[in-house]
Amino acid sequence: MQLTLFIAAAILYAVCALLPSRQGSAISAVTAVAWAVHGAALWPDIVSNGTLRVGFAFMLSAALWISVAAYWIENRNFALDGMRRMVMPCAAVAAILPPLFPGNLMPVQAQSPAFGWHVAVAVSAYSTLTIAAFHAVLMALQEARLHTKSAKQGWFTGALDQLPALLTMERLLFRMIGIGFILLSLTVLSGIVFSEQLFGRALRWDHKNFFALLSWVLFAALLAGRRWRGWRGKTALRFTLAGFATLALAYVGSRFVFEVVLHRGFV
C-alpha cells in the first residue's frame, strides 16, 4: 500500500511540474493532493512501534515534503512559478527514494520525549534551508536571464520572466534564511543536550557535528554581513548555497555514503 502511495505522489509531482503556468487552480490542487499522498506514505513508516526510521532517503523525502508545503504557501502570496519547475521534479524523485533505500530502524522508546522534537526541528531546519537554496538558484537564473536580454521563451524561461522583482525575491530569500537559521540553531543546541544523554559528553566531534556547525557559521556570517555590511546579490547567493551544501553533507550526504557506497548503517 505504501509503495503505491509513494509512486502516486511521484506521478502527481511530475504532473504538477508539467502543467502550464496558466493552470493556476489546477497546479494548486494537484500540489495539495500530491503533498497529502506523500505525507500519508512517508510518516507512518518513519515513526512506528517505538522506532524511528533513519536514512538519507527518508530525510531527503521529508525535507522535500516540507519544502513543497513552503512553496505552496509562498506561491499564494507571490508568483513563484519558476520555483515549481525546480521543486516538483526534485520532490518526485525524493518521493520514490524511501522504498528503494529503506534505511535503518532506531529504537526511541528509551529516549526523552523531547527527542522527537529535536528530530522534528532538525527536519524543519533542513527543509527551510532547502527551499532557500532553491530560491537562491532561482534568483541566479533570474539575474542571468536579465543580463542575456533574450526574447526566446521556453518551458522554464517563461516562468522566470513571471517571477517578482529581484529585490522582492531577495527579501523572501533572507526571510527564509532567517527562519532556517533559528531552526538550525535550535537543532544544534538540542543536539548538544541529547549528546550528553546518549554519549556522556556535550558534543561528539564527528563529521555530522562538524558540517552542521560549519553550516551554522556560514549562515550566521551571511546574516551578520547582511545586517552590518549590506551583503546582497552574488555574495548572498554564494553563502546560501555553500551553507546548504555543507548542511547536506552533515547528514544526507554522509548517510548516502554509508548506506549506498559503503553498504553499512550508522546512527
Domain assignments of the chain as residue spans, ordered by start: 2-261
CA distances from 181 to 185, 186, 188, 217 (A): 6, 9, 10, 10
Cα–Cα distance between 213 and 178 in angstroms, integer? 16
Dihedral through CA 33, CA 36, CA 40, CA 41, nearest 10? Answer: 60
What pLDDT shows up at residue 11?
94
Three-state DSSP at 262 gives coil
Query: Among residues 115, 3, 100, 126, which one has the least CA distance to residue 50?
Result: 115
Q: Identify the residue with better confidence: 115 or 171.
A: 171
How does DSSP assign 218-247, residue by residue? HHHHHHHHHHHT---HHHHHHHHHHHHHHH
Determine how many CB atoms are found less than 10 A away from the CB of residue 233.
12
User: Confidence band (pLDDT; 50, 70, 90) for 264?
Assistant: low
**Positive or negative: CA dihedral 219, 136, 94, 42:** positive
- Residues 154-161 have a mean pLDDT of 64
Q: Are 2 and 44 in contact (CB under 8 A)?
A: yes
Cα–Cα distance between 165 and 170 in angstroms, integer? 9
- Residues 23-28 have a mean pLDDT of 84
- Residues 2-18 have a mean pLDDT of 90
Q: Are 85 and 49 in contact (CB under 8 A)?
A: no
Rounded to 5 degrees, φ, ψ at 133 are: -65, -45
- Residues 103-127 have a mean pLDDT of 70
Angle CA 180–186–188, to nearest 5:
100
User: Confidence band (pLDDT; 50, 70, 90) for 55?
Assistant: confident
